[in-house]
Structure 1
Amino acid sequence: MFTCAQTLVTLVSTTLHSRFVGGPESFNTMVIFAPGARPGPGSEARLRLALDAAGGVGAWELDVATDWLSADESFWSLHGLQKGRDAPGNLQGLLAMVMADDRELLATALRAAADRKVERLRCEYRVVGADGELAWLLLRGRMRTLEEGGTGRLIGVAVDVTEQHQTEMALRASEERFEAITNSVDQMIWSTRPDGFHDYYNQRWYEFTGMEVGTTDGEAWNGMFHPDDQERAWERWRHSLETGEPYHIEYRLRHHSGNYRWVIGRAKCVRDGEGRIVRWYGTCTDIDDLKEAEAQRELIARELSHRIRNIFAVVSSLVMLPTRDQPEARPFAVSVQARIQALASAHEYVRPHSALSAPEDDSHTVKGLMQLLVSPYNAPGRGRIVIEGDDQPIGTQAATAMALIIHELATNAVKYGALSGDGGLVAVDCSDADKHLTIRWRETGGPPVDGTPTRKGFGTTLSERVASTQLGATLTREWLAEGLVVVLVIPVSRLLT
């Protein structure tokens, strides 16, 4: 059987190990002596050195029959006893130094250990330390019998665990703040382990889905998707887990009403200092109302476009109608009809499209769009607006902005500029350099220019704003004597939007 010294050394070694390695929850006893061995000379001195080196650790011994308590100076210092003061010699004196709300807790724990109801004593309680501040102590011990038929004694150590409690309180406060933040936003927020196991959802997720807390953990979240979206969403998630790429997808999520609503799922990973993924954080945003609005807008846009095409068709027919009785007017009518048809084509090209109505041909270019837009102003065999130079592909949104700008320039040229007379021309030169496309519109042969106008019209202001906000471009005008020069510089990256 171990002696009291052996027991105390074992407890101290355990405490030191937990204090510096595993924290107060660890209780991995370090083997100091082989079974049956006794500490040699100087063991007590070495023990004292170990306690002093640890700091915040004190040794104690309690005779359970007499309540006689013996402890070292460090033990009493932890309990707030000032130097030079006499230490209490019994258990009641110790309990008097403990916060009133914790005294019964400590007394109960000591009785359970003394009665051998528990193998090891472990109890945390509060005291007022020597510095006058509240401190948390951890009391550890074991019941030992000194000799056959002898009195049993509790032998152990006390450890200052105030810092650990403060850390736990700070962590708890941080978690509470996190919960408050995530539950204050109108989005579903979730988090997973590095392998993609879902282990956190905010309150918004449970409010939206109507599911019980914990029932969608792990891979159960995939069952919340519409059956037609499950495999697609799962494949995209697996790809993100394998590559670390951001997760972004639209899918239908089951609402607590039983209906499926469209949401956007997004997630990004967090990495440690060595680049390993340690966590995924994601959101789900309800976009069902937006989807419905887009569908309504698309329906209206298609209906409006259909009616405009019908108007063009009616006007084109009306232009040709008089030629039945006036054959000599047919060449003029055919020319006007060609312009009307060109305008109709330009309208269909630049009108906003959805994924359903977008044209299959995605090879549209800046020059192709401009040629289409200015074709009504060019007579057969005589191009009054000549477009030359480099070219770039153009997306639907950029095309809409370009159409407004070119239409404004061409309309003003017809009203006031080079195209207002018979001899005027417009030269459009496109040059691609330094990731920018520069379009230079130069008018010649029109009425003399008297200098910069004193005011801007609505169309001019609108075209400048569209150039800046939708194309990220700069648009400048120079009023030369021979005609207007307009320079439009567009980032190539913005043309593909």
Structure 2
Amino acid sequence: MSLKTRKSFQLGSLAKRNASDVLPLGDEHALQSAGAAFHALADTMPQMVWSTLPDGSHDYYNARWYEFTGVAEGSTDGEGWAGMFHEDDQPEAWKKWSHSLATGEPYEVEYRLRHHSGDYRWMIGRALPIIDENGEIQRWIGTCTDIEDQKRTALQNEILSQELSHRIKNIFAIVSGLISLTARADLAFAETARKLMERIAALGRAHEFVRPHTDRSRPKVDRMTLSTLLATIFEAYPAYSEGRIEIIGAEVPIDSKAATPVALIFHELATNAMKYGALAEPDGRVRLEVSEDNDMVCLGWGEFGKNAARVSSPAGFGTRLIDMAIKQQLGGSYERRWEAGGLVMQMFLKRNRLEQMA
């Protein structure tokens, strides 16, 4: 086999190439001329390997394909392969394959492929074009990789996650109920109980945003970011619907595990602003600015009012809660000061703690 031919068929790394990669080839019939060496290489791969002509007609499958499907050799050449897909997956597979043939873009799709037993197993199909020196597609080389076990595991984990999430919501409700009953029996506990129930409600809102969802229950956002989580937390405050709480700046991804400390921090800040700070006034407002600095995420909380009072007990429970969440759970630091309009606070959080907490 010539050096040129060997370079053309480095199939072992096919699935590892970037989406923009192509495989060079000068001879349209090099696949056939590669002979026994190529077929031996393809047949030893754990994936099913196939190739097509530029128009998408299949003209080669390795031994794994025939072992898996049990079909007669050559029976799935041309477009005969399409009948091997589950009928529900065929429209999407055809759509993506047609797009790749028309554009030359890499092909990738998940579908169910019929096993020789008659059962269907989930596969991920990928293909890259082989381009000649003139930029013309000579053929496509593709693989089918069995992902049935991963799909089953993912489904089981999703069901388990949804069940655990449902139980967590029930626990929030039970705890709030117990606190309410205790407060009614002990009036001296009423104010403390109210504050505690507000904090539990804030955690519940954060959990509702990040919990596993079905397509129907999922929040209508493209991805989970710090700004969208904060918007969910602030929805409980009238000042937010009135446009007096503003969130601006960078869209920083946030992991579900980081939602709890973030919810606690900003529940405390918003509640204190409603009681003592700028939001205690009809015209007072808050601006929260999100910015990025290398491996840190910076959050600037600024209150703007006319006669906001300074909190008399800066080392209270709420302050300790914020301190613990920022320093211990989010690996950050903060600075704060009181100005005429209310609290001004700068928080510096580790990006990796927000994006993925251990």
**Structure 1 residues 134-213: aligned runs within 5 Å:** 174-213=34-73
Q: Quote the Cα distance in structure 2 between the aligned partners of 1:360 and 1:388.
A: 20
Q: 1:200/1:173 Cα in 2 relative to 1: closer, same or farther (>3 Å)?
A: closer
State the one-letter code of the partner of 2:162. R
Q: Post-superposition shift, 1:243? A: 2.0
Q: Distance in 1 between matches of 2:194 and 2:164?
A: 26
In the aligned structure 2, how far is the partner of 1:431 from the partner of 1:271? 45
**Contact between 1:346 and 1:372, CA under 8 Å: does it hold in 2?**
yes
Amino acid at match of 2:87: P
Q: Which of 380, 383, 400 matches 2:256?
A: 400
Kindly tell me: are residues 223 and 460 of structure 1, through their superposed partners in 2, closer, same or farther at Cα, counting changes over 3 Å?
Answer: farther
1:322 maps to 182
Once superposed, what is the RMSD of the aligned Cα atoms?
4.7
Alignment map for 1:386-465 (pairs within 5 Å): 389-391=247-249, 398-400=254-256, 402-403=258-259, 406=262, 410=265, 429-431=288-290, 438-440=297-299, 463=330
Aligned residues of 2:326 and 2:349 also touching (Cα < 8 A): no
8 Å CA contact 2:162–2:212 kept in 1: the answer is no
Contact 1:370 1:403 in 2 (8 A): no
Aligned to 1:292: 152
Q: CA deviation at 1:393?
A: 5.4
Worse-matched range after superposition: 172-181 or 222-231: 172-181
Q: Which residue of 2 aligns with 1:361?
A: 220
How far residue 484 of structure 1 moved from its aligned partner, in angstroms, is 9.6
The 3-state SS of whatever aligns with 1:186 is: coil
Distance in structure 2 (CA, Å) of the matches to 1:171 and 1:371: 56
Which fold has the larger relative contact order, with Cα–Cα distance below 8 Å and residues 6 or more apart in sequence? 2
Q: Say if 2:91 is the partner of 1:231.
A: yes
Q: Deviations over 1:125-148 (max 9, x none)?
A: xxxxxxxxxxxxxxxxxxxxxxxx
Change (3 A) 1:349 1:331: same
| Higher Cα radius of gyration | 1
In structure 1, how many angstroms separate the alpha carbons of the residues matched to 2:45 and 2:91? 29
CA distance in 2, matches of 1:461, 1:331: 28
Count residues in correspondence: 286
Please give the secondary structure, in 2, of the residue aligned with 1:334. Answer: helix
Aligned residue for 1:390, secondary structure, equals strand
Letter in 2 for 1:430: E
Q: Deviations over 1:327-350 (max 9, x none)?
A: 565444333222212211211212
1:54-97 per-residue CA deviation (whole Å, 9 max, x = no partner) reads xxxxxxxxxxxxxxxxxxxxxxxxxxxxxxxxxxxxxxxxxxxx
Q: Deviations over 1:391-439 (max 9, x none)?
A: 45576xx3426426736x949x99xxxx9xx999xx9853458999952
Matches within 5 A, 1:11-410: 174-326=34-186, 329-353=189-213, 356=215, 359-362=218-221, 366-370=226-230, 372=232, 389-391=247-249, 398-400=254-256, 402-403=258-259, 406=262, 410=265
Structure 1: which amino acid aligns with 2:89? D
CA contact 2:297–2:351 (8 Å) conserved in 1: yes
CA contact under 8 A between 2:179 and 2:193: conserved in structure 1? yes
Aligned partners of 2:83 and 2:124: how far apart in 1?
16
Measured after TM superposition, the shift of residue 216 of structure 1 is 1.0
String of CA shifts for 1:457-479, please: whole Å, max 9, x gaps: 99968756xxxxxxxxxxx6588
> 1:197 & 1:172 partners in 2: Cα distance?
15
- 1:406 maps to amino acid: V
Q: Could you say what secondary structure the match of 2:76 adopts? A: coil
- The more displaced of 311-320 and 207-216 is 207-216
Q: Which amino acid aligns with 2:102?
A: E
Q: SS state of the match for residue 228, structure 1?
A: coil
Report the CA distance between 1:213 and its aligned residue.
1.8
Structure 2 vs 1, CA of residues 359 and 279 (structure 1 numbering), >3 Å: closer, same or farther? same
Residues 190 and 282 in structure 1, CA contact (< 8 A), matched pair in contact too:
yes
Identical-residue share of aligned pairs (%): 41
- Residue 348 (structure 2) aligns with: 487
Q: Is the Cα–Cα contact under 8 Å of residues 202 and 233 in structure 2 kept in the other structure?
A: yes
What is the deviation of 1:171? Answer: 9.2
- Residue by residue, what CA displacement relative to the aligned partner does 1:102-156 show, whole Å, maximum 9, x if unpaired? xxxxxxxxxxxxxxxxxxxxxxxxxxxxxxxxxxxxxxxxxxxxxxxxxxxxxxx
CA, structure 1 residues 441+374, in 2 after alignment: closer, same or farther (shift >3 Å)?
A: farther
Displacement of 1:359 in angstroms is 0.5
1:460 to 1:248, Cα distance in 2 relative to 1, 3 A = farther
Question: Which ranges of structure 2 fall in alignment gaps of 5 or more residues?
Answer: 1-29, 278-285, 303-310, 316-323, 339-343
TM-score, scaled to structure 2: 0.63
Q: Is the 8 A contact 1:188 1:284 kept in 2?
A: yes
